[in-house]
Chains A and B, each alone.
Chain A
Amino acid sequence: MTTDGTMFSFRLYVAGDAQNSSRAIANLTALCRARLAGRHQIEIVDVFGHPERALMDGIVMTPTLMRLEPGPVRRLIGTLNATDDVVAALGIARSEG
């Protein structure tokens, strides 16, 4: 269980302005603003712009969210629209937020 003050670091791979990618960005930022205000950073990588990075991270499906911190790295794919499930998958404690 994470405690207050834990930094969350995310990398979100998106495919240009594809609909599900845009939705994922929106969902993630909304979630972070609501639950992890002030203690998160999000890096958004467009696979079309940086295919070599996608290759390095083994990105097949987009959007893919990588939780880099806290470790271990966890991957989520999809639009991240079911907020409760996303919160559980990312290991954000209910009490936080």
Chain B
Amino acid sequence: MNTAGASAADTTKSRTGIAGFDQMTGGGVPRGRTTLVIGGPGSGKTIFGLQFLAEGLRSGEPGIFVAFEEATDRIMANAASFGWGLEQVRPGEVFFLDAQPTADLVQLGDFDLGGMIATLDAKATEMGASRIVFDALDIVLALLPDAASKRREVYRLHEWLLGRGLTGIITAKSDSDDSGTVSGGPLGFMQFMVDCAVTLNHSVVLGVSQRDLRVLKFRSSPFDENESPFLIGATGIEVAAARNLGRMDAQVTNERVSSGVKRLDTMLGGGYYRGASVLITGFPGTAKTTLSGAFAEAACLRGEKTMFVSIDSDGSEVVRNLSSVGIHLDRFLKTGLLQMVSARSITGSAETFLVRIKTHARAQGARCLVIDPVSTLFKSGNELTARNVAERLIDWSKAEGITLVCTSLLDEMASQQEGGSPLQISTLADTWIHLNYLVQAGERNRGMSIIKSRGTAHSNQVRELILSDKGVTLADIYTAGGEVLMGTLRWEKESAERVAKEVDEVARTLKMVRLDAEEAELGVRVKSLQVELEAKQVERALLVRTNKTRKAELSGGRSRMRELRGGDATQPVAAS
């Protein structure tokens, strides 16, 4: 995420280092002013303050922590678990003041916070502190006898903070669990006085813990007014800020990544887009996991870091099951290219889940992400936030350029039609592949179709998805008389066609042979006739020749006879 940019340049704000909060407020809490953080017990007020100081430590701003409620060593131990390095600071960087009223303290008459302010003033000067946190100010205010003196002390403190130009955070418990509505009492007064007010709320919705943060006011600055869910994670508070205004659009690429199934790539015109979000919906057992597993394998084969979040079953189970259909993920697990995250271990709301996924993916540097199935998880959480979470999941993966494949279980009862995709992810996803069963002739066969795929020409044909130990393949399905044929019927149809083709082939060969024979026969006949013709011609020529000879013989003979007779040459030849 791009947390820098415009917000970093804003010198009127102090970064809190709380992911999301700095985005919501456009840079942090108001610098040189006071921020009030209100929340019920265990809502994360102290952590908010500590994180603010830890951030100051990083940017070279010394800070002071005034603890009214807990002993400082306990607070230090608490902070140490987040790895901010607050526990190993040098004196002069962060100062912890233990201002816990001791148990044996006897209060007789009016008092004020002058002592504390005097000591803090000296300390702040000595350290050059610019940040200060008052944790659980309500504890000390409760000791004051009346509302007027409470106001007086809050005012005194505020004046001092402003005068010193310290960026202050005052945390206080809300009067009731229902935070944000503390209108009466010193807290109400404080809300009007301070420049920024934040409420932290911890509630349980349908048995799932849910934390929300809301910025109530922020003088002279725009801010995100909505209640945003947050999480106390391994590195502190993380607020799930919705997209803020200044966010850059995700980088769009034309690069394609393989779905892991060759023919599916062809159907999609080359595969999924890099950074796209793909939704695979279907009833249980329609090979959603297999299809996403194929994608993960293809990603690993390309050498891309891949994370597989399995919610229904254990990671090793998924690997084993997928190996039965020719998808071998275990080798990538060994090399670390693939990370299996079993979400069974992730408890809590959808929000928790999203943050954990982000953390894991960031730690691994994943480029491809599979969540299988995304729907189960959202069922257990708060339905209202689920869609929001889904939206931000897609938003985040796009911004990071992570190709996301989510599977989603369709409710078996609810939707026999394809429309009822839970969480309406389908409208957000770039590619939506639907898997279903076709029950016909006593079999269930898997059908696959691409319902939508943004920016790609895609096949609109339903294909049969075939799982074998060699892998996942797609086959054409037959439509005969308006009926779709799959499985055995398709096979039957195919084999019938093969037989018909063979018969046809034989018949044609046979005919060819017969024609050849006829042709040969005719050829023979032509030849014999030719010979006969030649014979006749010879015969004729012979006849002509004999005739000539005879004539010559005859005339020759008569002349000879005349000569022999000695006859007159002038004798008429009437007789001849």
Contact = CB atoms under 8 A, between A and B. Distances in A.
Given A52-B122, A59-B116, A79 B106 contact: no
Nearest to A56: B119
Contacts of B112: 15, 18, 20, 61-62
A32 interface: no
Contacts of A15: 112, 114-115, 117-118
A36 B108 CA distance: 19
A44 to B, nearest CB: 13
B38 to A, nearest CB: 22
Interface in B83-129: 97-99, 101-102, 104-119, 121-123
A20 B112 CA distance: 8
A75 B106 contact: yes
Interface string A74-97: 111111111001100100000000
Contacts of B117: 15
B110 A78 contact: yes
A37 interface: no
A60 B101 contact: yes
B114 A81 contact: no
B115 A80 contact: no
B393 interface: no
B155 to A, nearest CB: 14
A25 interface: no
B108 A61 contact: no
A80 B106 CA distance: 10
A51 B106 contact: no
A91 to B, nearest CB: 11
> Which of A13, A58, A77 has the most B CB atoms < 10 Å from its CB?
A77
Contact of B115 (A23, A27, A62): A62
B116 A78 contact: no
A23 B112 CA distance: 13
B153 to A, nearest CB: 9
A86 to B, nearest CB: 6
A76 B107 contact: yes
Contacts of B118: 15, 47-48, 51, 54, 62
Contacts, number: 103
Contact of B108 (A18, A60, A86): A86
Interface in B53-98: 97-98
Contacts of A62: 111-115, 118
A50 to B, nearest CB: 9
B8 interface: no
Contact of A54 (B98, B102, B115, B143): B115
A63 B143 CA distance: 13
B122 A77 contact: no
Given A20-B111, A60-B140, A61-B143, A77 B116 contact: no
Contacts of A61: 101, 111-116, 140, 143
B109 A47 contact: no
Contacts of A79: 108-111
Nearest to A72: B104
A76 B106 contact: yes
A78 to B, nearest CB: 3
Given A47-B114, A58-B99, A61-B140, A76 B108 contact: yes
Interface string A39-59: 000000001100110110011
A16 interface: yes
Nearest to A45: B115
A82 B114 contact: no
> Which of B99, B101, B102, B110 has the most A CB atoms < 10 Å from its CB?
B110
A59 B114 CA distance: 9
A78 B114 contact: no
Contacts of A51: 118-119, 121-123
Nearest to A90: B106
B108 A75 contact: no
Given A15-B115, A64-B115, A80 B122 contact: no
13 contacts: A13-B115, A16-B114, A55-B123, A61-B116, A61-B140, A62-B111, A62-B115, A74-B106, A79-B108, A79-B111, A80-B108, A82-B108, A86-B108
Interface of A: 13, 15-16, 18, 20-21, 23-24, 27, 47-48, 51-52, 54-55, 58-64, 74-82, 85-86, 89
Interface of B: 97-99, 101-102, 104-119, 121-123, 140, 143
Given A60-B116, A79-B111, A82-B108, 5 more contacts: A20-B111, A61-B101, A75-B105, A77-B107, A82-B109
